[in-house]
Amino acid sequence: MILYHGSLEIIEEPNPFIGRKNVDFGQGFYLTDLREQAVRWINRRKRQASQKKGFLNIYEYTENSDLKIKKFNGYCEEWLDFVILNRAGSDIPKNMDYDVVIGNVADDEVIVAVDSYIESLAKGRATKNTKLALLDELSFSYPNNQYAFKTILSLNFLKFINSEAFQ
């Protein structure tokens, strides 16, 4: 399977322990199988960093039964709970400690809705219906996905193919 990582640099040897911890699936090396999504990420990073050049890093991923993989099917309650735990910087229970996590992205549009839900939770105003309404709203989001490679073991099954420069 081909996966993409949009960046300001060429990354031949990814490291899952670099980068922010409080993101959707926790600290890891993030990729997608949607080329267009990775290109959008390149353009966003270029704007944020006032850079003129970015890179689409291309990898081949070989699934392996030795890996502990969690795959979320769409925006669901389990996905939302996992994202909230990670974004809050909470300690993740050992039974939720994965090599690879696959699922939807809480991108700019989605995170606004998720943050609003988290605020409702903090104020004690969130209900089961609030959560279900949020998940229903998210089902209309632009298609996206992400693969978070969280361990060195997982990177053994990810092979750098090449990169393409984007001006």
On whether the CB atoms of residues 86 and 26 are closer than 8 A, the answer is yes
Helix/strand/coil (H, E, C) string of 124-139?
Answer: CCCCHHHHHHHHHHHC
Average pLDDT, whole number, for the chain?
A: 90
Q: Up-side HSE of residue 122: CA atoms within 13 Å toward CB?
A: 8
Q: How far apart are CA 44 and CA 40, in angstroms?
A: 6
Residues 151-161 have pLDDT tens digits of: 999 999 999 99
Token couple for 23? 């993101």
Token couple for 80? 């939302």
Q: How far apart are CA 38 and CA 151, in angstroms?
A: 21
Give the least confident one: 48-52, 68-72, 113-117, 163-167.
Answer: 113-117
Residues 56-83 have pLDDT tens digits of: 999 999 999 999 999 999 889 999 999 9
Average the pLDDT over 109-123 and give the result.
82
pLDDT of residue 130 exceeding 90, the answer is no
pLDDT of residue 87 exceeding 90, the answer is no
